[in-house]
Amino acid sequence: MDELKKVVLRLAEIIAHLSIGLLFTVYILRPIYGNYGILFTGNVWVNWFGVSYILFVLYTLIVGLYISKESIHYKKRLTSVYFWFTFIGSNYVVFIPFIKGENPF
């Protein structure tokens, strides 16, 4: 039963970050792109995933370094190379439109 509880909590984490990321994408990122003359069209879900993952990394840093310092789960996540490469990719997805002047996705 303890394992099921962990799975449900991780699933709730994922759903929460995707939901909050969607709100940030629609209500914050879209107007910012608009102010810079960047059309918010195309595969916007790519930007949504990027924003959601950036929020997920910030959450993991706060919880892993300050709240649950002894948690093995967060230690493994913070030391994962895949975790950080995906974070770099997410930053690219969110910030490259400012450099290119358009949303390439």
**Number of other residues whose CB lies within 10 A of the CB of residue 75:** 14
In 3D, which of 57, 65, 47 has the Cα closest to residue 85?
57
pLDDT of 1 above 80: no
Give the whole-angstrom CA distance, residue 84 versus residue 34: 29
Model confidence pLDDT, tens digit, residues 31-74 = 999 999 999 988 999 999 999 999 999 999 999 888 888 888 88
Q: Transcribe 16-60 into DSSP letters.
A: HHHHHHHHHIIIIIHHHHHHTT----S-HHHHHHHHHHHHHHHHH
Model confidence pLDDT, tens digit, residues 8-19 = 988 999 999 999
pLDDT score at 105: 84
pLDDT score at 11: 93
